[in-house]
Chains A and B, each alone.
Chain A
C-alpha cells in the first residue's frame, strides 16, 4: 500500500485479556519496527525485524509481549494478560533497508487502553 497501515486504530480491553495489534508495512520494505508511545513520554523501541534475520527483541518490556512477522510482510504484536501500564499508543514503522538513515515511515498507531 501507499503507507504503513495499522489496525485497529483504537482498542479498549479489560485487564488480563490478550490483544493483537496488526501492522501492514509498505510493500518492499524489508525492515519493520514496533515502538510504544506512552503519555508524556518519547517513543520506546520494542522490536525490529529485518528480512529473514532473527528479530531484535531487546526492547520488549516483559515476556507478556511477543511479535511475529509472517512472510516478511505483515507483523502482529501480541500482549498477553494485559495490565493497565500497557496502555499506550503502539506505533509500527517500516523502512527500505537496515540503518536509520533510510528513514522510517510510521503508521498512525493503535491506541490501547486497558481498563
Chain B
C-alpha cells in the first residue's frame, strides 16, 4: 500500500540555519504530496502541497518539490526561526482520494 518515510528526529538547529527534512514515498500512480505542521499545543495545519510531478509547494519560507524520479518531497527552509519549532509530517494521498497516509513526523527545535 501507499506509504511515506521521513527522516527521524529530533532535529535541533540554531536560528538562521538551513533546514532540510527528507521525505520519500511509495505509491501506485501519481499521488498528491503534503507537508503538515503541528506547533506546540495546536492541531496539525497544512503547510504546503504539490499535486503533480515537478510542482513546487511553498509557504512561510518553506519549499518542497515533487520529484517523481526519486519519489521524494523534501522540505527545506533557508533560514529558520525559533517560531518554526514544531513537528513536521509528510503525507500523501492517491489522486482524488480522501485518505492521507502520514509519515511518523519529525520534531524540529530551533534555538536562539
Contacts and interface: CB of A to CB of B under 8 A. Distances in A.
Interface residues of B, number: 25
Interface of B: 4, 32, 34, 36, 41-46, 49, 51, 89, 91, 93, 96-105
Contacts of A93: 43-44
Interface of A: 3-4, 31, 33, 35, 40-43, 45, 48, 50, 56, 91, 93, 95, 98-101, 103-109
Contacts of A104: 44, 46, 100
The winner among A42, A95, A98, A99 for most chain B CB atoms within 10 A is A42
A107 B99 contact: no
Nearest to A108: B43
Given A40-B104, A42-B103, A43-B89, A99 B98 contact: yes
A103 B33 CA distance: 11
